[in-house]
Homo-oligomer: A and B are copies of this chain.
Amino acid sequence: MARYHLTRKDREICDPEIIDAILGGGRLAQVALCRGEEPYIVTMNYGYDPRRGALYFHCAKQGQKLDFMRENPRVCATIVRDLGYVEGRCEHKFQSLVLRGRLRTVETLEGKKHGLDILLNHQEKTPGRVRRRHLREDSVYSTLEMLRLDIEEITGKEA
């Protein structure tokens, strides 16, 4: 499982329950990648797997994020819970998690099925319906790329 790494003291979220609630309740993650001195950022839907300490994403078979990932699997991702703007104080309240880890493709059919299960259960109110409609045949999985971010460290901040 992920270690919870603590840096700033006053605005830090240390409570594992709050961290888990943000991970479990979020929809979108921003993932930062880099190669050489070139940074890249991408926003994706994710599914959180608390047992494995990982996020799953699915995406197309090619694209910039895959090119970056193949050159350097180290990533830094963030999930933000937006708490709205505070008028008159020039302050926007939000909680954010910063996750450090490695991103890789999931290659086995078994692994892809697990990842898509995590993703559907995380995102969908009625995941069974989607499964019955779109995932009847195993051949479907060969057309989709599944990515897994193995979380090595989490920092939570309140701004």
Contact = CB atoms under 8 A, between A and B. Distances in A.
Which range holds the interface residue count of chain A? 35 or more
Interface stretch (A13-21, A39-47, A104-112): A39-47
B85 A27 contact: yes
B45 A40 contact: no
A135 to B, nearest CB: 10
A34 interface: yes
A contacts with B: majority SS: strand
Nearest to A135: B90
Interface of A: 7-8, 27-28, 30-35, 37-43, 45, 63-64, 72, 74-78, 80, 82, 85, 87-92, 94, 96, 98, 119-120, 123-126, 129-130, 133-134, 159
